[in-house]
Chains A and B, each alone.
Chain A
Amino acid sequence: MKTISCMNIGENILYSFGAEERNYKKREIVFKEEDHALYYFQIVEGKVKLNNYNEDGKEFIHNILGKKQSFGEAMLFLNQDYPINAICLEDTRIIRLPKNNFFEMITQNHDLSLEMNACLSQEVFYKLKMMQSMASQNPVQRLRALLDYLKSYHDEECHQCFHIAFTRQQIANLVGLRVETVIRTLKKMEKEGMLSLKDRKILY
Protein backbone atom coordinates (compact mmCIF):
# COMPACT_ATOMS: atom_id res chain seq x y z
CA MET A 1 0.00 0.00 0.00
CA LYS A 2 1.19 3.51 -0.89
CA THR A 3 -0.01 6.87 0.41
CA ILE A 4 0.21 9.07 -2.67
CA SER A 5 0.55 8.68 -6.41
CA CYS A 6 3.49 10.55 -7.79
CA MET A 7 6.07 10.91 -10.53
CA ASN A 8 6.63 7.87 -12.68
CA ILE A 9 9.15 8.82 -15.35
CA GLY A 10 9.97 6.29 -18.07
CA GLU A 11 13.12 4.37 -17.17
CA ASN A 12 14.52 4.84 -20.68
CA ILE A 13 14.40 8.62 -20.37
CA LEU A 14 16.00 8.46 -16.93
CA TYR A 15 18.85 6.26 -18.22
CA SER A 16 19.37 8.41 -21.29
CA PHE A 17 20.05 11.35 -18.97
CA GLY A 18 22.57 9.39 -16.92
CA ALA A 19 20.56 7.65 -14.21
CA GLU A 20 21.92 4.60 -12.41
CA GLU A 21 20.20 1.81 -10.54
CA ARG A 22 21.12 0.99 -6.96
CA ASN A 23 20.11 -1.80 -4.64
CA TYR A 24 19.28 -1.14 -1.03
CA LYS A 25 18.72 -3.62 1.77
CA LYS A 26 15.75 -3.55 4.10
CA ARG A 27 16.24 -0.73 6.67
CA GLU A 28 18.99 0.87 4.61
CA ILE A 29 18.94 4.68 4.49
CA VAL A 30 18.66 6.38 1.09
CA PHE A 31 19.12 9.84 2.56
CA LYS A 32 18.82 11.31 6.01
CA GLU A 33 17.74 14.54 7.63
CA GLU A 34 20.08 17.46 6.85
CA ASP A 35 21.67 15.73 3.85
CA HIS A 36 21.88 17.89 0.73
CA ALA A 37 19.44 16.94 -2.02
CA LEU A 38 21.72 15.69 -4.80
CA TYR A 39 19.58 13.20 -6.72
CA TYR A 40 16.15 12.49 -8.10
CA PHE A 41 15.02 9.08 -6.75
CA GLN A 42 12.47 6.71 -8.28
CA ILE A 43 11.59 3.25 -6.97
CA VAL A 44 11.81 0.30 -9.41
CA GLU A 45 10.84 -2.37 -6.90
CA GLY A 46 10.29 -2.26 -3.14
CA LYS A 47 9.06 0.25 -0.59
CA VAL A 48 10.43 3.36 1.05
CA LYS A 49 9.18 5.40 3.97
CA LEU A 50 9.83 9.08 4.62
CA ASN A 51 10.07 9.72 8.33
CA ASN A 52 11.37 11.66 11.32
CA TYR A 53 12.18 10.71 14.87
CA ASN A 54 11.25 13.13 17.61
CA GLU A 55 13.30 13.88 20.71
CA ASP A 56 11.97 10.79 22.51
CA GLY A 57 12.77 8.59 19.53
CA LYS A 58 9.13 8.28 18.51
CA GLU A 59 8.77 7.82 14.78
CA PHE A 60 6.52 9.89 12.53
CA ILE A 61 5.97 8.60 8.97
CA HIS A 62 5.21 11.25 6.34
CA ASN A 63 4.65 8.91 3.43
CA ILE A 64 5.07 5.34 2.28
CA LEU A 65 5.98 4.95 -1.38
CA GLY A 66 6.23 1.98 -3.69
CA LYS A 67 7.00 0.80 -7.19
CA LYS A 68 7.28 3.49 -9.89
CA GLN A 69 7.10 6.37 -7.43
CA SER A 70 9.52 9.18 -6.84
CA PHE A 71 10.36 10.71 -3.46
CA GLY A 72 12.04 13.76 -1.99
CA GLU A 73 11.86 15.67 -5.29
CA ALA A 74 10.56 18.85 -3.63
CA MET A 75 13.96 19.46 -2.03
CA LEU A 76 15.60 19.48 -5.48
CA PHE A 77 13.70 22.65 -6.30
CA LEU A 78 14.63 24.40 -3.07
CA ASN A 79 18.02 25.15 -1.69
CA GLN A 80 17.08 23.37 1.50
CA ASP A 81 18.49 20.22 3.05
CA TYR A 82 16.20 17.23 3.53
CA PRO A 83 13.91 17.71 6.54
CA ILE A 84 13.23 13.93 6.53
CA ASN A 85 14.85 10.49 6.30
CA ALA A 86 14.16 8.02 3.48
CA ILE A 87 14.45 4.42 4.70
CA CYS A 88 13.77 1.18 2.81
CA LEU A 89 10.99 -0.97 4.26
CA GLU A 90 12.15 -4.00 2.27
CA ASP A 91 14.91 -4.81 -0.21
CA THR A 92 14.51 -2.06 -2.77
CA ARG A 93 15.83 -1.14 -6.20
CA ILE A 94 16.03 2.57 -6.89
CA ILE A 95 16.97 4.60 -9.95
CA ARG A 96 18.78 7.79 -9.12
CA LEU A 97 19.57 10.71 -11.37
CA PRO A 98 21.94 13.54 -10.38
CA LYS A 99 20.18 16.86 -9.70
CA ASN A 100 21.68 18.74 -12.69
CA ASN A 101 20.76 15.94 -15.09
CA PHE A 102 17.27 15.94 -13.63
CA PHE A 103 16.82 19.63 -14.40
CA GLU A 104 18.26 19.15 -17.87
CA MET A 105 15.73 16.37 -18.40
CA ILE A 106 12.68 18.34 -17.33
CA THR A 107 13.79 21.45 -19.21
CA GLN A 108 14.04 19.42 -22.40
CA ASN A 109 10.83 17.52 -21.73
CA HIS A 110 8.24 20.12 -20.94
CA ASP A 111 5.49 17.54 -20.34
CA LEU A 112 7.57 16.10 -17.48
CA SER A 113 7.80 19.53 -15.96
CA LEU A 114 4.01 19.88 -16.11
CA GLU A 115 3.62 16.43 -14.57
CA MET A 116 6.02 17.44 -11.85
CA ASN A 117 3.58 20.17 -10.81
CA ALA A 118 0.76 17.67 -10.62
CA CYS A 119 2.91 15.36 -8.53
CA LEU A 120 3.92 18.06 -6.07
CA SER A 121 0.29 19.15 -5.83
CA GLN A 122 -0.74 15.63 -5.03
CA GLU A 123 1.68 15.60 -2.14
CA VAL A 124 0.52 18.99 -0.89
CA PHE A 125 -3.08 17.77 -1.04
CA TYR A 126 -2.28 14.72 1.07
CA LYS A 127 -0.58 16.91 3.62
CA LEU A 128 -3.45 19.42 3.71
CA LYS A 129 -5.78 16.57 4.58
CA MET A 130 -3.45 15.02 7.11
CA MET A 131 -2.46 18.26 8.84
CA GLN A 132 -6.07 19.06 9.45
CA SER A 133 -6.61 15.71 11.14
CA MET A 134 -3.34 15.87 13.07
CA ALA A 135 -4.45 19.15 14.60
CA SER A 136 -7.24 17.20 16.24
CA GLN A 137 -6.64 15.39 19.54
CA ASN A 138 -9.40 12.93 18.72
CA PRO A 139 -7.93 9.59 17.52
CA VAL A 140 -11.07 8.59 15.59
CA GLN A 141 -10.83 11.80 13.56
CA ARG A 142 -7.17 11.24 12.86
CA LEU A 143 -7.69 7.67 11.70
CA ARG A 144 -10.74 8.49 9.61
CA ALA A 145 -8.88 11.19 7.72
CA LEU A 146 -6.14 8.73 6.77
CA LEU A 147 -8.60 5.98 5.78
CA ASP A 148 -10.79 8.41 3.78
CA TYR A 149 -7.77 9.75 1.98
CA LEU A 150 -6.46 6.28 1.07
CA LYS A 151 -9.89 5.15 -0.06
CA SER A 152 -10.43 8.26 -2.19
CA TYR A 153 -7.87 6.91 -4.68
CA HIS A 154 -9.62 3.58 -4.90
CA ASP A 155 -11.69 3.23 -8.10
CA GLU A 156 -14.51 1.02 -6.94
CA GLU A 157 -17.16 2.51 -4.71
CA CYS A 158 -17.86 -0.16 -2.15
CA HIS A 159 -18.91 -0.55 1.43
CA GLN A 160 -16.15 -1.79 3.72
CA CYS A 161 -14.27 -3.68 1.02
CA PHE A 162 -11.21 -1.47 0.78
CA HIS A 163 -8.27 -3.24 2.37
CA ILE A 164 -5.96 -0.96 4.37
CA ALA A 165 -2.71 -2.79 3.77
CA PHE A 166 -0.68 -1.06 6.47
CA THR A 167 0.42 -2.54 9.78
CA ARG A 168 -1.06 -1.09 12.99
CA GLN A 169 2.35 0.34 13.78
CA GLN A 170 2.62 2.05 10.38
CA ILE A 171 -0.85 3.53 10.79
CA ALA A 172 0.11 4.79 14.25
CA ASN A 173 3.23 6.44 12.88
CA LEU A 174 1.34 7.99 9.95
CA VAL A 175 -1.16 9.75 12.24
CA GLY A 176 1.06 10.44 15.25
CA LEU A 177 -0.69 8.10 17.70
CA ARG A 178 0.61 5.27 19.86
CA VAL A 179 0.03 1.79 18.49
CA GLU A 180 -2.08 0.85 21.56
CA THR A 181 -4.35 3.82 20.86
CA VAL A 182 -4.68 2.77 17.22
CA ILE A 183 -5.63 -0.80 18.13
CA ARG A 184 -8.21 0.40 20.68
CA THR A 185 -9.62 3.04 18.31
CA LEU A 186 -9.93 0.61 15.41
CA LYS A 187 -11.96 -1.75 17.62
CA LYS A 188 -14.16 1.14 18.69
CA MET A 189 -14.67 2.14 15.05
CA GLU A 190 -15.62 -1.43 14.21
CA LYS A 191 -18.28 -1.42 16.96
CA GLU A 192 -19.68 1.81 15.58
CA GLY A 193 -19.89 0.24 12.11
CA MET A 194 -17.30 2.51 10.47
CA LEU A 195 -15.10 -0.39 9.34
CA SER A 196 -14.80 -4.13 9.66
CA LEU A 197 -11.93 -6.23 10.96
CA LYS A 198 -11.48 -9.68 9.45
CA ASP A 199 -8.49 -11.86 10.40
CA ARG A 200 -6.79 -8.70 11.64
CA LYS A 201 -7.33 -7.10 8.22
CA ILE A 202 -8.85 -3.64 8.18
CA LEU A 203 -11.62 -3.25 5.61
CA TYR A 204 -12.94 0.28 5.09
Chain B
Amino acid sequence: MVIDENILISAGAETRRYTPSETIFCEGDIPNYYYQIVKGEVKLNNYNEEGKEFIQNILSNGESCGESILFIEKPYPMNAEVITECTVLRLHKSIFFNLLQKSPELCMEVSSFLSQRLYYKFIMMQSLSSQNPSIRLKGLMDYLKSFQKDLSPYSFLIPLTRQQMASLTGLCVETAIRTIKHMEKDKILRIENRKILY
Protein backbone atom coordinates (compact mmCIF):
# COMPACT_ATOMS: atom_id res chain seq x y z
CA MET B 1 0.00 0.00 0.00
CA VAL B 2 1.43 3.34 -0.99
CA ILE B 3 -0.99 5.87 0.46
CA ASP B 4 -3.86 4.77 2.70
CA GLU B 5 -6.97 4.58 0.49
CA ASN B 6 -9.08 6.28 3.15
CA ILE B 7 -6.79 9.29 3.14
CA LEU B 8 -7.10 9.52 -0.63
CA ILE B 9 -10.89 9.13 -0.62
CA SER B 10 -11.43 11.66 2.15
CA ALA B 11 -9.21 14.09 0.21
CA GLY B 12 -11.61 13.75 -2.70
CA ALA B 13 -10.14 11.01 -4.88
CA GLU B 14 -12.55 9.50 -7.39
CA THR B 15 -12.80 5.80 -8.18
CA ARG B 16 -12.45 4.91 -11.83
CA ARG B 17 -12.82 1.58 -13.58
CA TYR B 18 -10.89 0.51 -16.63
CA THR B 19 -11.16 -2.50 -18.91
CA PRO B 20 -8.16 -4.38 -20.40
CA SER B 21 -6.17 -2.49 -23.05
CA GLU B 22 -7.73 0.83 -22.05
CA THR B 23 -5.16 3.54 -21.26
CA ILE B 24 -5.06 5.57 -18.04
CA PHE B 25 -2.71 8.07 -19.66
CA CYS B 26 -0.69 8.21 -22.85
CA GLU B 27 2.82 9.24 -23.77
CA GLY B 28 2.87 13.01 -24.29
CA ASP B 29 -0.11 13.71 -21.95
CA ILE B 30 0.37 16.36 -19.28
CA PRO B 31 0.17 14.80 -15.80
CA ASN B 32 -2.81 16.12 -13.85
CA TYR B 33 -3.58 13.34 -11.38
CA TYR B 34 -2.06 11.04 -8.85
CA TYR B 35 -3.18 7.46 -9.66
CA GLN B 36 -3.24 4.53 -7.27
CA ILE B 37 -4.35 1.05 -8.23
CA VAL B 38 -6.94 -0.48 -5.88
CA LYS B 39 -7.26 -3.71 -7.83
CA GLY B 40 -5.92 -5.02 -11.13
CA GLU B 41 -2.76 -4.79 -13.23
CA VAL B 42 -1.35 -1.94 -15.28
CA LYS B 43 1.74 -1.78 -17.46
CA LEU B 44 3.83 1.28 -18.19
CA ASN B 45 5.06 0.94 -21.74
CA ASN B 46 6.38 2.50 -24.93
CA TYR B 47 6.16 1.42 -28.54
CA ASN B 48 9.18 2.00 -30.73
CA GLU B 49 9.11 3.06 -34.38
CA GLU B 50 8.55 -0.51 -35.55
CA GLY B 51 5.69 -0.96 -33.09
CA LYS B 52 7.70 -3.19 -30.75
CA GLU B 53 6.57 -2.83 -27.18
CA PHE B 54 8.92 -2.06 -24.31
CA ILE B 55 7.44 -2.48 -20.82
CA GLN B 56 8.96 -0.18 -18.23
CA ASN B 57 7.11 -1.77 -15.36
CA ILE B 58 4.08 -3.86 -14.39
CA LEU B 59 2.10 -2.49 -11.46
CA SER B 60 -0.67 -4.00 -9.38
CA ASN B 61 -2.86 -3.67 -6.25
CA GLY B 62 -1.83 -0.85 -3.96
CA GLU B 63 0.82 0.61 -6.26
CA SER B 64 0.82 4.12 -7.62
CA CYS B 65 1.20 4.71 -11.28
CA GLY B 66 3.29 7.37 -13.03
CA GLU B 67 3.70 9.36 -9.80
CA SER B 68 7.30 10.36 -10.54
CA ILE B 69 6.22 12.52 -13.49
CA LEU B 70 3.93 14.62 -11.25
CA PHE B 71 6.96 16.22 -9.65
CA ILE B 72 8.55 17.45 -12.84
CA GLU B 73 7.24 19.79 -15.48
CA LYS B 74 7.32 17.27 -18.29
CA PRO B 75 4.74 15.26 -20.22
CA TYR B 76 4.49 11.51 -19.55
CA PRO B 77 7.32 9.67 -21.33
CA MET B 78 5.22 6.45 -21.39
CA ASN B 79 1.69 5.01 -21.59
CA ALA B 80 -0.20 3.37 -18.73
CA GLU B 81 -2.12 0.51 -20.29
CA VAL B 82 -4.53 -1.68 -18.35
CA ILE B 83 -3.79 -5.44 -18.38
CA THR B 84 -6.67 -6.82 -16.28
CA GLU B 85 -9.94 -5.20 -15.09
CA CYS B 86 -8.81 -2.31 -12.92
CA THR B 87 -10.14 -0.09 -10.19
CA VAL B 88 -8.04 3.03 -9.77
CA LEU B 89 -8.22 5.98 -7.38
CA ARG B 90 -7.37 9.28 -8.95
CA LEU B 91 -6.67 12.49 -7.10
CA HIS B 92 -6.00 15.85 -8.65
CA LYS B 93 -2.34 16.87 -8.63
CA SER B 94 -2.92 20.05 -6.59
CA ILE B 95 -4.74 18.15 -3.82
CA PHE B 96 -2.03 15.50 -3.83
CA PHE B 97 0.62 18.17 -3.29
CA ASN B 98 -1.46 19.73 -0.53
CA LEU B 99 -1.53 16.37 1.22
CA LEU B 100 2.25 16.12 1.00
CA GLN B 101 2.65 19.69 2.26
CA LYS B 102 0.61 18.86 5.33
CA SER B 103 2.02 15.46 6.13
CA PRO B 104 5.73 14.83 6.64
CA GLU B 105 5.08 11.10 7.06
CA LEU B 106 3.34 10.87 3.71
CA CYS B 107 6.11 12.83 2.11
CA MET B 108 8.68 10.40 3.47
CA GLU B 109 6.64 7.45 2.22
CA VAL B 110 6.59 8.97 -1.24
CA SER B 111 10.38 9.32 -1.06
CA SER B 112 10.68 5.65 -0.23
CA PHE B 113 8.59 4.43 -3.11
CA LEU B 114 10.31 6.75 -5.55
CA SER B 115 13.57 5.30 -4.28
CA GLN B 116 12.20 1.84 -4.88
CA ARG B 117 11.42 2.75 -8.49
CA LEU B 118 14.90 4.12 -8.91
CA TYR B 119 16.49 1.03 -7.42
CA TYR B 120 14.64 -1.15 -9.94
CA LYS B 121 15.91 1.07 -12.73
CA PHE B 122 19.52 0.87 -11.53
CA ILE B 123 19.31 -2.91 -11.72
CA MET B 124 17.46 -3.04 -15.04
CA MET B 125 19.58 -0.43 -16.82
CA GLN B 126 22.64 -2.41 -15.96
CA SER B 127 21.19 -5.59 -17.40
CA LEU B 128 19.84 -3.76 -20.49
CA SER B 129 23.32 -2.45 -21.23
CA SER B 130 24.29 -6.03 -21.96
CA GLN B 131 23.63 -7.53 -25.40
CA ASN B 132 23.51 -10.97 -23.83
CA PRO B 133 19.86 -12.08 -23.46
CA SER B 134 20.53 -14.38 -20.53
CA ILE B 135 22.12 -11.52 -18.53
CA ARG B 136 19.08 -9.36 -19.30
CA LEU B 137 16.61 -12.03 -18.16
CA LYS B 138 18.64 -12.92 -15.09
CA GLY B 139 18.70 -9.24 -14.09
CA LEU B 140 14.91 -9.12 -14.22
CA MET B 141 14.45 -12.37 -12.27
CA ASP B 142 17.03 -11.40 -9.63
CA TYR B 143 15.23 -8.14 -9.10
CA LEU B 144 11.78 -9.76 -8.76
CA LYS B 145 13.12 -12.41 -6.42
CA SER B 146 14.91 -9.87 -4.21
CA PHE B 147 11.55 -9.04 -2.56
CA GLN B 148 10.88 -12.65 -1.54
CA LYS B 149 11.58 -14.06 1.89
CA ASP B 150 12.60 -17.45 0.56
CA LEU B 151 15.77 -17.01 -1.48
CA SER B 152 16.54 -20.70 -2.01
CA PRO B 153 16.99 -21.87 -5.63
CA TYR B 154 13.85 -22.53 -7.71
CA SER B 155 11.56 -21.29 -4.91
CA PHE B 156 10.21 -18.30 -6.79
CA LEU B 157 7.50 -18.61 -9.43
CA ILE B 158 8.05 -15.87 -12.02
CA PRO B 159 4.65 -14.12 -12.24
CA LEU B 160 5.08 -13.02 -15.86
CA THR B 161 4.34 -14.38 -19.32
CA ARG B 162 7.21 -15.02 -21.80
CA GLN B 163 5.95 -12.07 -23.82
CA GLN B 164 6.02 -9.78 -20.78
CA MET B 165 9.52 -10.95 -19.84
CA ALA B 166 10.65 -10.20 -23.40
CA SER B 167 9.04 -6.74 -23.41
CA LEU B 168 10.56 -5.89 -20.02
CA THR B 169 14.06 -6.73 -21.23
CA GLY B 170 13.85 -5.43 -24.81
CA LEU B 171 14.09 -8.90 -26.37
CA CYS B 172 11.99 -10.65 -29.04
CA VAL B 173 9.70 -13.25 -27.54
CA GLU B 174 11.42 -15.99 -29.61
CA THR B 175 14.79 -15.02 -28.13
CA ALA B 176 13.31 -14.98 -24.62
CA ILE B 177 11.82 -18.47 -25.06
CA ARG B 178 15.06 -19.89 -26.48
CA THR B 179 17.16 -18.25 -23.78
CA ILE B 180 14.89 -19.49 -20.99
CA LYS B 181 15.35 -23.05 -22.31
CA HIS B 182 19.13 -22.59 -22.32
CA MET B 183 18.95 -21.26 -18.78
CA GLU B 184 17.04 -24.39 -17.74
CA LYS B 185 19.81 -26.58 -19.21
CA ASP B 186 22.38 -24.50 -17.34
CA LYS B 187 20.34 -25.08 -14.14
CA ILE B 188 19.77 -21.37 -13.62
CA LEU B 189 16.02 -21.99 -13.49
CA ARG B 190 13.48 -24.81 -13.67
CA ILE B 191 10.45 -25.12 -15.93
CA GLU B 192 7.40 -26.99 -14.65
CA ASN B 193 4.16 -26.99 -16.71
CA ARG B 194 5.52 -24.02 -18.62
CA LYS B 195 5.90 -22.13 -15.35
CA ILE B 196 9.32 -20.68 -14.58
CA LEU B 197 10.79 -21.38 -11.14
CA TYR B 198 13.83 -19.33 -10.18
Residues of A within 8 A of B (CB): 52, 54-55, 58, 60, 62, 73-78, 80, 83-84, 106-107, 110, 113-114, 116-118, 120-125, 127-132, 134-137, 141, 152, 176
Interface size of B in residues (CB-CB distance below 8 Å)? 41
Q: How many A-B residue pairs have CB under 8 A?
A: 131
Question: Interface majority SS on B: helix, strand, loop or mixed?
Answer: helix
Known: A74-B119, A116-B111. A130 touches B125 (CB 8 A): yes
Do A125 and B69 touch across chains, with their CB atoms under 8 A apart?
A: yes
Query: Given the known A-B contacts A114-B101, A125-B72, A135-B54, are A55 and B107 also in contact in the complex, defined by CB atoms under 8 Å?
Result: no
- Chain B residues within 8 Å of A114, by CB: 100-101, 107
Which residues of chain A are near B78, meaning CB under 8 Å?
Answer: 128, 132
A121 to B111, CA, bound (A): 9
Can you list 28 A-B pairs with a CB-CB distance of less than 8 A?
Answer: A52-B129, A54-B130, A55-B135, A58-B129, A62-B125, A74-B119, A77-B108, A77-B112, A80-B119, A116-B107, A117-B114, A120-B68, A120-B118, A121-B69, A121-B70, A121-B71, A122-B72, A124-B114, A124-B117, A127-B125, A128-B56, A128-B68, A128-B77, A128-B121, A131-B54, A131-B56, A131-B124, A135-B48
- At the interface, yes or no: B123 with Cβ under 8 Å from chain A? yes
Compute how far the CA of A137 lies from the CA of B48 in the bound complex, rounded to whole angstroms: 11
State whether A118 and B71 are in contact (beta carbons under 8 Å apart), knowing that A75-B115, A107-B104, A176-B128 are contacts in the complex: yes
